[in-house]
Amino acid sequence: MFALQGIIRSADGGRTFDEIALPTQELPESLSPPESLSFGDPVHGWLLADGVLYSTSDGGSVWRQVTYRQ
């Protein structure tokens, strides 16, 4: 068994998988595990964590914060 530290993605339809890091350039160190992760297609995705929404347009390599927690 192993613990994941990121997001698992496949670029070949599920034949193989790679782990990519969570979007640490935008996420605070105290972030709890994501509440939701969804992709509309292979490159556009959204991640909800601690009530803040993040998006990616490159398959999860880079994430940007969309909403801010008040």
H-assigned helices in the chain: none
Report if residue 32 sits inside a domain: yes
Q: Which domain holds residue 57?
A: 23-70
Inform me whether the pLDDT recorded for 43 exceeds 60.
yes
On the question of pLDDT at 44 being above 90, the answer is yes
Residue 29: band (very low, low, confident or very high) from pLDDT cuts 50, 70, 90: low
Number of compact structural domains in the chain = 1
Model pLDDT, residue 2: 46
Round the average pLDDT of the chain to a whole number and report it: 76
Residue 15, domain member (yes or no): no
pLDDT of residue 1: 41
Q: What is the C-alpha separation between 37 and 2, in angstroms, rounded? A: 20
Query: Where does 10-57 show beta strands of DSSP type E?
Result: 18-21, 36-39, 45-49, 52-56
Asked whether 49 and 31 are in contact (CB, 8 A), the reply is yes
**Residues 56, 44: contact at Cβ < 8 Å?**
yes
